Amino acid sequence: MLRITLNSLFILLFSLQMFSQTFKLDSTQTYGKKTLKFEEANIVSSYYHQNGIHSAITGGIGTEKLTDFANVIDFKLSYNNGKGKKYRFGGDIGIDYYTSASSDKIDTRVSSASSSDVRVYPSINYSVENEKTSFVMGGNLAFSNEYDYTSIGGGLNLTKTSLNKNTEFGARANIFLDTYRQIVPTEFRANLPSGQRGKGEIGNAARNTFDLSLTLSQVLTRKFQMALTLDLSYQNGLLSTPFHRVYMNDGSLLRETLPDRRFKVPVGLRANYFVGEKMIIRSFYRYYQDDWGMKAHTLQVELPYKISPFYSLSPFYRFHKQSAIDYFAPKDEGIMGSQFFSSDYDLSGFDSHFYGLGIRYTPFKIIANLFAISQLELRGGLYNRSDGLNAGMVSLHLQCKGF
C-alpha cells in the first residue's frame, strides 16, 4: 500500500525522466543486418524520504513520515530484417520497499500490515519501425502489485517523423484496470461481520484509468527545439481512499468520499536551447485542470553543463502551484451533509519547490567486447511544500549500451 503523495510520486518520475537525453530528432537512416542486437540497459536505484504534519489517514493531521527505496532495471533489444523494418523489444521490472508511519495509523490498536510493503511492477514493450517512411507503431503491457492494490495495464503508441527529420508527431493510449482492496480505519469496523473486523476489509473495488497523450516536436533551428504535449486522462470507479479519515464541522468522523469520475487535462510546452558545445537550457511548462476544480501551473528548468569530455553537472529547479479541489476541507471544517469531502492535502492548494543537482560521468568503457558502460549519474534533490511537507531523494543511474 504505497502511500507516497501525488507530488512526491511526480518528483520520483521527474528525477528518473531527467536521466534521459533531449528529444533531438535522429537525422540518420540506415538499413542494418539481420541480427538481434542489444541496444541498451538501465539500472536505477533511488532513496526517498519525506515528513509532514497533514496525513490524510488521520484526518488531515499527524505524521506523513515515509521512506521508499526503489530499484528499476530495463533492457532494449532490436532486430533489423534487412528490408527496412526494425523491430524493438524491451522490458523492465521495478521493486519498491517502503515504510510509512501514517499508513500504520489505519489500525490504531495494532501495527497495520500497511506500515511497510513491497511493490513489484514489471512491464514489456514491442515496436516496429519502417525506416523508409519513419513510422513507428508499438504496444506495451504492465502489471503492478502491492498490499492492497493490483493493476493491469496496456497500451498502443505510434510515431511519425517527417522526411527531413525536423518534425515528429507521437500518440500514446493506455488503459489501467485496477483492483482496490477496501480497508477501513479501526473506528468503522464495529458493525462489520466478525470475519472482517480484524483486517477491516469490506471487499474489492475497481478503479480504471484511460490515458491519451499527444506530442508534436519541432526542430526550429540547429540550436532550438520545442515540443507541445496534450494529455487527456479519464478515471472511473473508486477514486477516494477508504482509510482516509475526515473530521466534520459538527465533530463527527467520516471516511473520505469523492466522485467516481474524474477528467484531467494537462497541456505542456517543452523547449531546449543549445547555448554552445558545453551547455543546454532545458525548460518545461505545464498547465493542468480537472473537473474536480483543481488548476495547477508547473515550471521546471535544467541547465546541463559539460565541465570536461567525461563529466557534466545538471542543476535543476521545479516550481508547482495548485488550487484545492472543490471537496477539500481541513480537519474540523468539513461541512456535514456534503455529498463529497476530503482532508487529503495532496488535493489542497499549495506551492512547492524542488531543486537539486545531477553529476554525470560518460566513460563509454567497453566490457568484454560485449557492451559499454555509457553513463553513470548521481542525482539529489530537496522538495519543500507550503503546507509543511518536506522531502529529499537521491538516485543513481547506470546505463549500458551495445555497439
Sorted by where each starts, the structural domains of the chain and their CATH numbers stand as: 6-353 (2.40.160)
The percent of residues in the chain predicted with pLDDT above 90, rounded, is: 72
Cα 18 from Cα 16, distance rounded (Å): 5
Give the pLDDT mean for 341-366.
Answer: 94
Cα 119 from Cα 133, distance rounded (Å): 41
Q: How confident is the model at residue 9 (pLDDT cuts 50, 70, 90)?
A: very low
The pLDDT assigned to 397 comes to: 97
The pLDDT assigned to 108 comes to: 72
Judge residue 356's burial from the number of C-beta atoms within 10 Å of its C-beta, 0-12 exposed, 13-18 middle, 19 or more buried: buried
Reported as a single tens digit per residue, the pLDDT across 151-209 is: 999 999 999 999 999 999 999 999 999 999 998 998 888 887 777 766 788 889 999 99
Give the pLDDT mean for 383-387.
Answer: 97
φ, ψ (nearest 5 deg) of residue 9: -65, -40
Residue type, 303: L
The pLDDT assigned to 81 comes to: 87
How far, CA to CA in Å, does 40 sit from each of 239, 371, 372, 375, 398?
37, 9, 9, 11, 11
Looking at mean pLDDT, say which of 19-23, 160-164, 242-246, 351-355 comes out highest: 351-355
Give the pLDDT mean for 94-113.
Answer: 77
**pLDDT above 80 (res 332):** yes
To which residue does cell 515496436 refer?
Answer: 127
Give the pLDDT mean for 240-250.
Answer: 94
Cα 244 from Cα 251, distance rounded (Å): 16
The pLDDT assigned to 277 comes to: 86
Q: How confident is the model at residue 110 (pLDDT cuts 50, 70, 90)?
A: low
Give the pLDDT mean for 36-64.
Answer: 94
Contacts of 35 (CB under 8 A, 6+ apart): 79, 80
What does the buried/exposed string (b/e) look like for 151-160 if buried means 16 or more CB atoms within 10 Å of the residue's CB?
A: bebbbebebe
Q: Closest by alpha carbon to 99, among 111, 81, 85? A: 111
**pLDDT above 50 (res 10):** no
The pLDDT assigned to 272 comes to: 97
Grid cell in block for residue 331: 480537519
Helix (H, G, I), strand (E, B) or coil at 199: coil
**pLDDT above 70 (res 250):** yes
Grid cell in block for residue 365: 568503457
The pLDDT assigned to 101 comes to: 78
φ, ψ (nearest 5 deg) of residue 188: -110, 15
**pLDDT above 70 (res 388):** yes
The pLDDT assigned to 30 comes to: 46
How far, CA to CA in Å, does 210 sit from each of 215, 236, 263?
17, 9, 10
* pLDDT, averaged across the chain: 89
**pLDDT above 50 (res 23):** no
The percent of residues in the chain predicted with pLDDT above 70, rounded, is: 89
**pLDDT above 50 (res 213):** yes
State pTM to two decimals.
0.88
The pLDDT assigned to 48 comes to: 97
CB count within 10 Å of CB 222 equals: 7
Q: How confident is the model at residue 318 (pLDDT cuts 50, 70, 90)?
A: very high
The pLDDT assigned to 270 comes to: 98
Q: How confident is the model at residue 283 (pLDDT cuts 50, 70, 90)?
A: very high
CB 115 within 8 A of CB 57: no
Give the pLDDT mean for 376-400.
Answer: 97
Cα 157 from Cα 170, distance rounded (Å): 7
181 beta partners: 204
The pLDDT assigned to 114 comes to: 54
CB 148 within 8 A of CB 180: yes
The pLDDT assigned to 136 comes to: 97
Give the pLDDT mean for 225-243.
Answer: 97
Contacts of 74 (CB under 8 A, 6+ apart): 41, 42, 90, 91, 92, 93
**pLDDT above 60 (res 364):** yes
The pLDDT assigned to 28 comes to: 43
Give the pLDDT mean for 352-362.
Answer: 97
